[in-house]
Structure 1
Amino acid sequence: MDHELDARGLLCPLPVLKTRKRLSALEPGMRIHVMTDDPAAVVDMPHFCAESGHGLIDSREESGIMYWVIEKR
């Protein structure tokens, strides 16, 4: 089962901090779908995944909202 986190309206570093907290409760291989609208997330989320070792499975932008799929590793 995938999990969701709506981080719209939150500014750096809150989207990453909330994503990290939610991922900590998941088992390896589980995924979380995150929505952000903070422009800094375009840099912050990929950097967070690379630094923490989690998989950035997908990212896309639609109408100013970024959608991220991150897999816990």
Structure 2
Amino acid sequence: MTKGELRAEEYRARAREALAFAEDASLDRVREQRQRAAATWVEMAEAEEAREKSRQSAPPGAPLAAPPETLPPETA
């Protein structure tokens, strides 16, 4: 298993943990906060899986491009 796959699995475990806390929460705002946290962990896992897929499909030695959302805005 690669580092990226391990990270993605860790993020998914944290999402499951956040959802478990959300189910046990008695306060609405705490439940909503934990649900948002779980959604964020899932997004991070999906992003890591996409990066890992990109790494695996790139030819050996090829530079990896940054995802568009991480590129700085172009200046005129």
1 or 2, which has the higher strand percentage?
1
Computing the radius of gyration from Cα coordinates, the structure with the larger value is 2
TM superposition score normalised by structure 1: 0.31
1 or 2, which has the higher helix percentage?
2
